[in-house]
């Protein structure tokens, strides 16, 4: 059968314009942006142009953008950088029970080094209550970190409401926007955040490039130490090739027709309900959700077995099955699903290259299996 890609939340293909930029800079990006000669000057111009494009995409100033190796580095930078600023003082961090491992694991690491972390729960849709965040704040709270949108269920968090609370208590606020960029509006001033994480491979740029927004009034210790790259905030010679690609990707993402992607997602859900009304259930928030994401669970079959019987389809499960036991993801556990319910979970995530034919192909295959 034709191959069908429905795993855009995991990674996206390179856009046509990004491929063009990569091809152009392949033979021109060898100069070190820190060098004073013509090759270095050309490379630096490419980096600064990309910085401006990323800033424009999220409503920031160019000087507030720091290029990173991806979302994981950005999240680690914020969490560990804030912890370093605490010094000998107690350090309390508030996050949620549905965060990506790129936030959860640094938090667990910091707990081993003396930080106190509060993991706020969610409702049955995976959405956090801002008042629960407020109730968790103490005099030692140094950071609040809440993802903009969940990578599995697609549930969008009330970032604006949480940021208002953070400002009232004068607590720095970070959001991981890796999953929301290019799908819903992301403006750092509208969201009211001090730090925001970007992952390039989620918005049609290569893997291995990302950016971190640091509000100009926010303090943050560097994660990497070395020379004075990125105005001393991130040591290491800039990846000119991928940085230029990220700038182009941000310009591309701003022009994506997300309403067409949402139409396909809705069509897919309607057909699933029509054909398997007793065997399919939707997870995540029905309204506050990413327009491209459909997270469902099937009864009577595990998501792992289902996808194994559909080798033409690229999609993701929400549970790992090992020797008869089921290990649910943090997002599924937060929804209150049982192991049996969670075992049948599958995340379908669509993008601008998805088609009606893709949806119909998957539905026909599911008819044969279910």
Please state the domain extents for the chain: 4-12+257-369, 16-253
Q: Mapping DSSP to helix (H, G, I), strand (E, B) and coil, where does residue 176 land?
A: strand
How confident is the model at residue 25, as a pLDDT?
Answer: 92
Beta partners for residue 279, in sequence order: none
Domains 4-12+257-369 and 16-253 share a fold: no
Mean pLDDT over 320-345 rounds to: 79
Quote the CA–CA distance of 106 and 112 in Å, as a whole number: 10
Exposed e or buried b per residue across 141-166, where buried means at least 16 C-beta atoms within 10 angstroms of its C-beta: bbbbbbbbbbbbbbbbbebebbbebb
Q: 96: how many CB neighbours lie within 10 A of its CB?
A: 26
Quote the CA–CA distance of 64 and 230 in Å, as a whole number: 10
Given pLDDT bands bounded at 50, 70 and 90, which one contains residue 322?
very low
Q: Residue 19 region, left (φ>0) first, then alpha (ψ -120 to 50), else beta?
A: alpha
Quote the CA–CA distance of 325 and 319 in Å, as a whole number: 10
Q: How far is CA 148 from CA 87, 95, 116, 220, 234, in A?
A: 28, 12, 22, 21, 24
Task: Write out pLDDT tens, residues 7-23.
Answer: 999 999 999 999 999 99
CATH number assigned to the domain with residue range 4-12+257-369, chosen from the 4 options 3.30.360.10, 3.40.50.1970, 3.90.1150.10, 3.40.50.880: 3.90.1150.10
Taking a C-beta distance cutoff of 8 angstroms, is the pair 175, 159 a contact?
yes
Active-site residue, from 91, 107, 250, 321: 321
Report residue 17 CA to chain centroid gap: 22
Q: At what angle do helices 16-25 and 240-253 cross, to 10 degrees?
A: 160
Beta partners for residue 345, in sequence order: 297
CATH dotted code for 16-253? 3.40.640.10
**Element spanning 317, H or E:** strand 316-317
**Among the listed ranges 30-44, 73-87, 201-215, which one has the minimum average pLDDT value?**
30-44
Beta partners for residue 116, in sequence order: 92
Task: Write out pLDDT tens, residues 268-285.
Answer: 999 999 999 999 999 999
Q: Structure tokens of 263?
A: 């139409």
Mean pLDDT of the chain: 94
The three-state (H, E, C) secondary structure of 101-121, written as one string: HHHHHHHHHHHHCCCEEEEEC
Q: pTM score, two decimals?
A: 0.95
Quote the CA–CA distance of 33 and 41 in Å, as a whole number: 6
Burial class from Cβ neighbours inside 10 Å (0-12, 13-18, 19+) for residue 267 reads middle
Quote the CA–CA distance of 29 and 144 in Å, as a whole number: 38
Quote the CA–CA distance of 106 and 34 in Å, as a whole number: 31
**Element spanning 42, H or E:** helix 38-58
Active site residue 86: no
Taking a C-beta distance cutoff of 8 angstroms, is the pair 146, 133 a contact?
yes
Task: Write out pLDDT tens, residues 200-253.
Answer: 999 999 999 999 999 999 999 999 988 888 888 998 999 999 999 999 999 999
How confident is the model at residue 327, as a pLDDT?
Answer: 80
285 or 329: which leads in pLDDT: 285
How confident is the model at residue 319, as a pLDDT?
Answer: 56
């Amino acid at each position: 059968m034709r191959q069908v890609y429905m795993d855009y939340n995991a990674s996206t293909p390179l856009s046509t314009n990004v491929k063009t930029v990569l091809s152009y800079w392949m033979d021109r990006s060898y100069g070190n942006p820190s060098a004073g000669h013509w090759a270095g000057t050309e490379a630096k111009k490419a980096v600064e142009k990309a910085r401006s494009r990323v800033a424009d995409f999220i409503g920031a100033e160019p000087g507030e953008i720091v290029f990173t190796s991806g979302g994981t580095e950005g999240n680690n930078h914020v969490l560990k950088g804030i912890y370093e600023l605490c010094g000998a003082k107690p350090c309390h961090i508030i996050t949620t029970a549905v965060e990506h491992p790129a936030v959860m694991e640094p938090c667990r690491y910091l707990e081993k080094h003396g930080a106190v972390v509060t993991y706020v729960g969610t409702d049955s849709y995976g959405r956090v209550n801002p008042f629960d965040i407020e109730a968790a704040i103490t005099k030692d709270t140094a950071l609040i970190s809440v993802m903009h949108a969940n990578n599995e269920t697609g549930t969008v968090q009330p970032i604006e409401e949480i940021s208002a609370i953070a400002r009232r208590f004068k607590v720095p606020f970070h959001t991981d926007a890796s999953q929301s960029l290019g799908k819903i509006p992301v403006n750092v001033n509208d969201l009211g955040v001090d730090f925001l994480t970007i992952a390039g491979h989620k918005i049609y740029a290569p893997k291995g490039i990302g950016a971190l927004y640091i509000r100009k009034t926010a303090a943050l210790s560097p994660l990497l130490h070395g020379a004075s790259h990125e105005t001393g905030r991130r040591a290491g010679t800039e990846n000119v090739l991928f940085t230029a690609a990220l700038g182009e990707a941000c310009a591309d993402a701003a022009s994506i027709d997300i309403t067409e992607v949402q139409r396909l997602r809705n069509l897919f859900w309607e057909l699933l309900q029509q054909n398997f009304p007793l065997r399919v259930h939707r997870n995540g928030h029905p309204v506050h959700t990413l327009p491209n994401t459909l997270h469902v669970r099937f009864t009577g079959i595990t998501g792992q077995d289902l996808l194994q019987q559909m080798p033409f389809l690229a999609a993701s499960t929400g549970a790992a099955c090992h020797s008869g036991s089921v290990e649910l993801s943090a997002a599924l556990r937060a929804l209150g699903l049982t192991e049996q319910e969670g075992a049948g979970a599958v995340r379908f995530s669509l993008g601008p290259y998805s088609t009606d034919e893709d949806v119909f192909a998957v539905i026909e295959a599911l008819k044969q299996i279910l």
